[in-house]
Amino acid sequence: MAGFLDQNTDRSSVFSRIFQTLSKLGNLGMEYDDMIIRNSQAIGRTESAFFNQEDSGYTDNAAFRWTTNYQDIKTRKYIAYFDKDYPSKINFLRKFSLNGEIEFILDTICDEAIVYDDRNFIAYPQLQNVEMKEKVLDSLSDNFKQIYMLLGFQNGITAWQYFRQFLVEGFLAFEIVYDDKAKNIVGFKELDPTSLEPRTATDPDGTFKQIWVQYPNDNNMRRTLTNEQVIYISYAKGNTISRVCYLERLIRSYNILRIMENTRIIWNVMNASYRLKFIIPVGNQSPQKALNTLGQLMSVYKEEIDIDDNSGELTINGRPKIQFYKNYLFPDKNGQSPQIDSLNPSGPDFNIMESVTYFYNRLKMDSKVPYARFAFRGAPASNYSIGVDQLERDEIRFEKFLSRMRSTFQEIIIKPLYLQMILQYPELRKDRDFKTNLGLVFTRENQFQEFVKLANLTKRVAFINSMSELQVSSGEEQTPYFSKDFLVRRFLGLSPDEYSMNNKYKEAEKIMAEKKEKTETPEEPTA
């Protein structure tokens, strides 16, 4: 692998072995993907973008054709490398995120999406509807804790900070670092997403697979990584008209709000002191000399007001303090002197804040954060409701938005966890159910989904109890029409894993009850 061999020539045998192991690991599902690409008859959206371009070499380059097809069929991610405006845009986004109102919005979202429990975990692994051996489940838990620690999530608020970075920048990329034998993941390295370009490599059997080339235009920094070495997540979906990151949606409303606030500040500052009108005698001066005289006086008496958008500081003629009155002294020659009259301020009443409030509400709407989270002193108190019927629609939409963000962010943990599991248990490579049902359960403070689940569960239990009371006549006896086990399986909504777990607990409780009964029952005395 070029990326390893270029940087570590003295250890080429070690990294060659890593490359061979990861190449075999990378074959998982590639035969299936290659078959889809070869048998596809239509032209995908990414493919069409290059199909008719002159000098693209698309029709003559099988590897490039496979890469664009793979993007349309499986990856579907927005790639920062192909957005030439993104490197300059990211600097603006980072500075923009430091504004107070924007910081509050970002912190609110991150505090809701990334919640630490007492053990400093933000989530736990879960397998849905998959029967696994006990040792595999134990290994899943152990590997999750190991990867969680290697990512640095165990100490501090690293996970929270990465989630905030994802909202601001729209991309996150990491290298998965393996040991010398490529059997265990030993660490992670954060990468610049703009440096990674997806490409295609050819296996000896002629099949293609995805790789990542880092800094492809720099021979000194160029590195080649397999797809199993890279974690790459993007906020936007490829080939769609969407924002690159979450923060972009706030730019327009915030800038208009800032303009409206600044106009009020400037208006109040301008009218905080007397405004004066000058009549300057010019006598018999020529028009050009009169203009020069007026220009000199204007340069002396003019005022420049400036507001620093970052610090909020206001300066007048470079000075931070406002003068509330001024004295002007002029010489009197031949009875001719300037005339100075005070001017009364006129214009709209900028003490009315309706327009500022309107654009502040627009900022709140664009943020997707519920309005109640923006409560300030003097506003009506916002109580914490714990009933499903008391939750506002904003809270429901907000929880769905957080779920979408978590489903993208979880790949940082899920991908290395899946790779570590199939390295440890090679038989899982062909188990599509394992890959499909592997996920994370995030700890939450927004209890909307939990409340809905409990409310539905209560209603289902009441329904099952009422249905189980339905009786049918069997001669002179009344027997239940429905089996309780059928009603529970059909209507309670438990997953097979939860149903099996409940049976295990029941068996354990039965055994404990039998043991307790034996210890409490006195032995009969022998004759």
* Residue range 219-245, pLDDT digits in tens: 889 988 888 889 999 998 766 667 889
Residue 245's CB is within 10 A of a number of other CB atoms, namely: 23
Average pLDDT over residues 17-32: 54
Distance separating alpha carbons of residues 401 and 385, to the nearest angstrom: 20
Q: What is the mean pLDDT of the chain?
A: 76
More confident residue, 161 or 447: 161
More confident residue, 162 or 505: 162
CB-side neighbour CA atoms (13 Å) of 466: 7
Distance separating alpha carbons of residues 87 and 194, to the nearest angstrom: 7
pLDDT band at 448 (very low <50, low <70, confident <90, very high): low
Q: Is the pLDDT assigned to residue 486 strictly greater than 80?
A: yes
* Predicted local confidence at residue 490, as pLDDT: 83
Instruction: Return the top range by mean pLDDT from 106-120, 130-144, 191-205, 389-403.
Output: 106-120
The token pair at 300 is 């002396």
Distance separating alpha carbons of residues 97 and 120, to the nearest angstrom: 26
Distance separating alpha carbons of residues 381 and 110, to the nearest angstrom: 23
Domain layout of the chain by residue ranges:
2-24+77-245+401-442, 272-343, 448-519
pLDDT band at 30 (very low <50, low <70, confident <90, very high): very low
* Residue range 332-379, pLDDT digits in tens: 445 455 666 655 556 666 667 787 888 888 888 889 888 878 865 444
pLDDT band at 305 (very low <50, low <70, confident <90, very high): confident
* Predicted local confidence at residue 188, as pLDDT: 94
Q: Is the pLDDT assigned to residue 2 strictly greater than 50?
A: no
pTM beyond 0.85: no
* Predicted local confidence at residue 392, as pLDDT: 65
* Predicted local confidence at residue 399, as pLDDT: 85
* Predicted local confidence at residue 414, as pLDDT: 93
* Predicted local confidence at residue 66, as pLDDT: 56
Q: Is the pLDDT assigned to residue 51 strictly greater than 80?
A: no
Q: Which residues are within 8 A (CB) of 348 and not within 5 positions of it... i.e. 6 or more apart?
A: none
* Residue range 189-224, pLDDT digits in tens: 999 999 998 887 776 666 677 788 899 888 889 988
* Predicted local confidence at residue 3, as pLDDT: 38
- Segment among 37-51, 77-91, 229-243, 264-278 with least mean pLDDT: 37-51
More confident residue, 142 or 76: 142
For Cα atoms 369, 148, 443, give the angle at the middle one, nearest 5 degrees: 35
pLDDT band at 87 (very low <50, low <70, confident <90, very high): confident
Average pLDDT over residues 446-463: 76
The token pair at 236 is 């936007």
Task: Answer whether 268's CB lies under 8 Å from 322's CB.
Answer: no
pLDDT band at 153 (very low <50, low <70, confident <90, very high): very high
* Predicted local confidence at residue 8, as pLDDT: 40
- What kind and span of H or E run contains 124? strand 123-127
| Residue 432 three-state SS | helix
pLDDT band at 277 (very low <50, low <70, confident <90, very high): low
Task: Answer whether 260's CB lies under 8 Å from 241's CB.
Answer: no
More confident residue, 472 or 188: 188
Packed helices 158-169 and 100-113: angle between N→C axes, nearest 10 degrees: 120
3-state helix, strand, coil in the chain (%, to 5): 50, 15, 35
Q: Is the pLDDT assigned to residue 6 strictly greater than 60?
A: no
Average pLDDT over residues 5-16: 47
Average pLDDT over residues 123-135: 78
